[in-house]
Chains A and B, each alone.
Chain A
Amino acid sequence: MSAGHAHAAARGHSAERAYAHQFDSAEHQHGAAQLGMWVFIAQEILFFGGLFVAYTVYRFMYPAAFAQSSHHLDVVLGSFNTAVLIASSLTMALAVHGAQLGKRWAQVIFLLATIFLGCVFLGVKTIEYGHKFHEHLIPGPNFLFDGDARHAQIFFSLYFVMTGLHALHMVIGIAVLGVLVWRAARGAYGSAYYSPVELTGLYWHFVDIVWIFLFPLLYLIGRH
């Protein structure tokens, strides 16, 4: 990337400066923050990557048990949630757009919409988890499964870890969005400074994309 950005010659400490002291300009700071977020997402890909590797290995080892198990996931709820998440990505993108244009209330409304959709997703997920609990599909001593229970347990272990970690990412995302709403309402973001909204958007889209992979892998493959 760019090597020769110019450091500001003078070191003014003006109170209204909109960037931290280690940077030369607001653009400099924005560029650094953006690169930081992309590196963080690279890290996230590998974080989930370990789970995807485990999933792939066991899918090849126990294809029948995995196919059977995926029949116990609720495709209707899963599809509904997928739609909800895609919609939330749209509202998030609109919120970023609003921030860039300095439209305070459009921004707030779209951020709130994103939070709402995120909560719907988590609510549906909770219902699904509840079903699994009643059907004794939580791995461990009480696991019940008519079929290859030993290997179905592995499927459900992975199901809970993968979707659980995904849900945890959403909870964190929603908390961050909450802070953004509060600050956006007070006019913190505008065309000159919107990095936090943009970067949270990147994060949110990333979390959505993870689901876009999880849904077919867990719910759809091997179903007839």
Chain B
Amino acid sequence: MTSTNYINADYGIWSWLLTKDHKRIAILYLVSITAMFLLGGLFALMIRLELLTPAGDLVSADTYNKLFTMHGIVMVFFFLIPSIPAVLGNFLIPMMIGARDLAFPRLNLASWYLFVVGALFALYAIFTGGVDTGWTFYTPYSTAAAHTNVIPAALGIFINGFSSILTGLNFIVTIHRMRAPGLTWFRLPLFVWAHYATSIIFILGTPVIAITILLVAVERAFHFGIFDPTLGGDPVLFQHLFWFYSHPAVYIMILPSMGIVSELITCFSRKVIFGYGFVAVSSMAIAVLGFLVWGHHLFLSGQSVYASLIFSVLSFLVAIPSAVKVFNWTATLYRGSIEFAAPMIYALGFIGLFTIGGLTGLFLATLGFDVHVHDTYFVVAHFHYIMVGGAIMGYLGGIHYWWPKISGRMYPEWPARIGAATIFVGFNLTFFPQFLAGYLGMPRRYHMYPPEFQVLNVMSTAGATILGVGYLLPLTYLLWSLRYGKVAPDNPWRATGLEWQTPSPPPTENFATTPVVTEGAYAYSDMHEAEFI
């Protein structure tokens, strides 16, 4: 740790707050996003505590509405959406393609500041009374009826949206223009492909939610009638515009995670990924198809039956590229020499949870079934399986895998394995009962419920406690490892990929000389093994 690297290249708070190094900016994001995750988690805990008993005894109905709204806003907009791209994408994409930095380092720093300003608006909204519209801001409630801080929250999301857009723009240009010699498109790591697809959603989806949220703010502030039916507006139009972004947004959360899982699966089964081209192209297919299915959120909004039918069929199509990925991962595992390191446990957990979440998505896309479970805990379980089970498992797996590169220290293996297992168990105990409760008819967004649902809710709250402990474990031992962890070698996992060919932690310019790429990704052949032994 005596050589110069990006961490010790400069000292002092301003050297961080004014940095243009993509790796330092990734760390800034890591810290701020973790803070938001803890805040969102706190709200979640209060929700689960309220639901421990059928009566509304812990908080009032109003407070409960604010709790689930703020939980949703913080988790979706300020944690899940930026998490993997802004932290791991920022840190790794330039290194994975052999570049010295992103194409626009100053823009990258500006994105972080936009994130912070957006988050401050949201925090202001939260701590001066909260918001109670639900994270979906459905009109006309949000524009005409709610008496809470809708405008600051909306502005926070608007500003944060531009942080996402600029990050996506930076990634697209970087991936197009900054690749090392020899690194053709079909030699790119799948992590990079996943981020390319995600960036396209950032560019094409985020501006639409931005303008929609702006319209909500304008309508609320100046009594412009665009969505308000008493003024002749159409609230269903809001839902269309909202879901045009927000369905693709769920792929913003899951695609980067899939990219990580592809990296982990090949590395820890020491095999070339099965069907590289299919996995790469399926990311693009998911991004494109994701824009065509938003109407499955409007089955019960009064849209025409024909529209519903078309959206239903299109939704089924999304399952194809998703299944392609799952099958390719499984085929990669087959006969691999699998090592159950902590990141691999996360990756395997991801596959299981994503499969359940994705399949229940198909249930929901089936018109008749959706009518039965719409706005029940079945939906809540579905999206948590994907967003928490999928996205966060991938995120944590990635954080562990690249931790040696990021921090220059190894994390302790056994606590990490126990942590991963705890999260997996806690997660299933929390959310599986919600499928049952929802199917049996427990509606979402109520602070009390009929007593017959109590057993399932107690299970869920118990699971949430275990899950909470599971999340605190990595937080603790990763911080511990910064000081006491073993010093990491350059390539602790004997992985392929350019990011492993530079010191841990990397120097500011990433590579001493620009690497030249002569072969495809994931060349985990016997020959390579021999080199390492």
A residues whose Cβ falls under 8 Å from a Cβ of B: 1-9, 11, 20-22, 28, 31-32, 35-36, 39-40, 42-44, 46-51, 53-54, 57-58, 61-62, 139-141, 150-151, 153-154, 157-158, 160-161
Alpha-carbon distance between A7 and B101 when the two chains are bound, in angstroms: 13
Given contacts A3-B179, A5-B177, A22-B100, contact A150 B232 (CB under 8 A): yes
A39 touches B172 (CB 8 A): yes
| CB of B450, distance to nearest CB on chain A (Å) | 40
B203 touches A154 (CB 8 A): no
Given contacts A32-B178, A154-B232, contact A22 B99 (CB under 8 A): yes
Stretch at the interface among B115-123, B211-219, B338-346: B211-219
Residues of B contacting A7 with CB < 8 Å?
98, 180-181, 514
Residues of B contacting A36 with CB < 8 Å?
103-104, 169-170, 173
Alpha-carbon distance between A119 and B287 when the two chains are bound, in angstroms: 41
Determine which of B173, B183, B184 lies in contact with A35 in the assembled complex, contact meaning CB atoms within 8 Å: B173
Alpha-carbon distance between A141 and B102 when the two chains are bound, in angstroms: 50
| CB of B470, distance to nearest CB on chain A (Å) | 38
Determine which of B177, B207, B222 lies in contact with A46 in the assembled complex, contact meaning CB atoms within 8 Å: B207
B203 touches A42 (CB 8 A): yes
Residues of A contacting B214 with CB < 8 Å?
161
Determine which of B177, B215, B226, B234 lies in contact with A31 in the assembled complex, contact meaning CB atoms within 8 Å: B177
| CB of B93, distance to nearest CB on chain A (Å) | 12
Alpha-carbon distance between A6 and B232 when the two chains are bound, in angstroms: 59
Question: Who on chain B is nearest to A62 by CB?
Answer: B232
| CB of B151, distance to nearest CB on chain A (Å) | 15
| CB of B328, distance to nearest CB on chain A (Å) | 24
B222 touches A50 (CB 8 A): no
Alpha-carbon distance between A61 and B211 when the two chains are bound, in angstroms: 21
Residues of B contacting A151 with CB < 8 Å?
232
- What's the dominant secondary structure at chain A's contact region? helix
B233 touches A154 (CB 8 A): yes
Alpha-carbon distance between A3 and B181 when the two chains are bound, in angstroms: 7
Provide 10 A-B residue pairs closer than 8 Å at the C-beta atoms, listed in order of the A residue: A2-B177, A3-B185, A4-B184, A5-B179, A11-B513, A32-B173, A36-B103, A47-B208, A54-B215, A54-B241
Residues of A contacting B206 with CB < 8 Å?
43
Residues of B contacting A153 with CB < 8 Å?
224-225, 231-232
Residues of B contacting A28 with CB < 8 Å?
177
Given contacts A39-B169, A54-B226, A160-B224, contact A47 B207 (CB under 8 A): yes
B172 touches A139 (CB 8 A): no
Given contacts A3-B183, A7-B514, A22-B102, contact A46 B208 (CB under 8 A): yes
- Scoring B205, B211, B513 by chain A CB atoms within 10 A of each residue's CB, the highest score goes to B211
| CB of B20, distance to nearest CB on chain A (Å) | 9
Residues of A contacting B514 with CB < 8 Å?
7-9
Residues of A contacting B170 with CB < 8 Å?
36
Residues of A contacting B147 with CB < 8 Å?
none
Alpha-carbon distance between A62 and B103 when the two chains are bound, in angstroms: 47
B210 touches A47 (CB 8 A): yes
Given contacts A35-B177, A161-B218, 7 further A-B contacts (CB under 8 A): A8-B514, A36-B170, A39-B173, A48-B211, A49-B207, A153-B224, A157-B226
Residues of A contacting B173 with CB < 8 Å?
32, 35-36, 39
A157 touches B212 (CB 8 A): no
| CB of A159, distance to nearest CB on chain B (Å) | 10
Residues of B contacting A46 with CB < 8 Å?
203-205, 207-208
A139 touches B225 (CB 8 A): yes
Determine which of A3, A11, A50 lies in contact with B211 in the assembled complex, contact meaning CB atoms within 8 Å: A50
Q: B176 in the interface, Cβ–Cβ < 8 Å?
A: yes
Alpha-carbon distance between A46 and B291 when the two chains are bound, in angstroms: 13
B169 touches A43 (CB 8 A): yes
Determine which of A1, A20, A158 lies in contact with B177 in the assembled complex, contact meaning CB atoms within 8 Å: A1
Q: B490 in the interface, Cβ–Cβ < 8 Å?
A: no
Residues of B contacting A43 with CB < 8 Å?
165, 169, 203-204, 206-207
Q: B182 in the interface, Cβ–Cβ < 8 Å?
A: yes
Chain B residues numbered 84-103 whose CB sits less than 8 Å from any CB in chain A: 94, 98-103
Determine which of A21, A35, A39, A154 lies in contact with B231 in the assembled complex, contact meaning CB atoms within 8 Å: A154
Alpha-carbon distance between A102 and B286 when the two chains are bound, in angstroms: 47
A9 touches B513 (CB 8 A): yes
Q: B237 in the interface, Cβ–Cβ < 8 Å?
A: yes
Residues of B contacting A49 with CB < 8 Å?
207-208, 211
Give 9 nearest A-B pairs by CB, closest first.
Answer: A47-B207, A157-B224, A50-B211, A7-B514, A22-B101, A140-B223, A46-B207, A22-B100, A150-B232
Residues of B contacting A5 with CB < 8 Å?
177, 179, 181
| CB of A160, distance to nearest CB on chain B (Å) | 7
B177 touches A21 (CB 8 A): no
Q: B509 in the interface, Cβ–Cβ < 8 Å?
A: yes
Q: B105 in the interface, Cβ–Cβ < 8 Å?
A: yes
A50 touches B208 (CB 8 A): yes
| CB of A139, distance to nearest CB on chain B (Å) | 5
Determine which of A1, A21, A42, A140 lies in contact with B509 in the assembled complex, contact meaning CB atoms within 8 Å: A21
Residues of B contacting A20 with CB < 8 Å?
105
- Scoring B185, B203, B214, B224 by chain A CB atoms within 10 A of each residue's CB, the highest score goes to B224
Residues of A contacting B218 with CB < 8 Å?
157, 161
- Scoring B177, B183, B208 by chain A CB atoms within 10 A of each residue's CB, the highest score goes to B177
A50 touches B226 (CB 8 A): no
- Scoring A11, A28, A50 by chain B CB atoms within 10 A of each residue's CB, the highest score goes to A50
Question: Who on chain A is nearest to B237 by CB?
Answer: A57
A139 touches B208 (CB 8 A): no
B231 touches A42 (CB 8 A): no
| CB of A181, distance to nearest CB on chain B (Å) | 22
Question: Who on chain A is nearest to B225 by CB?
Answer: A153
Residues of A contacting B232 with CB < 8 Å?
62, 150-151, 153-154
B103 touches A22 (CB 8 A): yes
Given contacts A4-B181, A22-B105, contact A51 B211 (CB under 8 A): yes
Residues of A contacting B102 with CB < 8 Å?
22
Question: Who on chain B is nearest to A4 by CB?
Answer: B181
| CB of B18, distance to nearest CB on chain A (Å) | 16
Alpha-carbon distance between A2 and B241 when the two chains are bound, in angstroms: 35
Alpha-carbon distance between A161 and B176 when the two chains are bound, in angstroms: 35
Residues of A contacting B183 with CB < 8 Å?
3
Question: Who on chain B is nearest to A48 by CB?
Answer: B211
B172 touches A53 (CB 8 A): no
Question: Who on chain B is nearest to A10 by CB?
Answer: B513
Residues of A contacting B169 with CB < 8 Å?
36, 39-40, 43
| CB of A63, distance to nearest CB on chain B (Å) | 13
Annotate B255-279 by CB proximity to A: 1 below 8 A, 0 otherwise: 0000000000000000000000000
Given contacts A21-B509, A39-B203, contact A139 B234 (CB under 8 A): no
Alpha-carbon distance between A9 and B101 when the two chains are bound, in angstroms: 16
B178 touches A53 (CB 8 A): no
| CB of B23, distance to nearest CB on chain A (Å) | 13
B226 touches A3 (CB 8 A): no
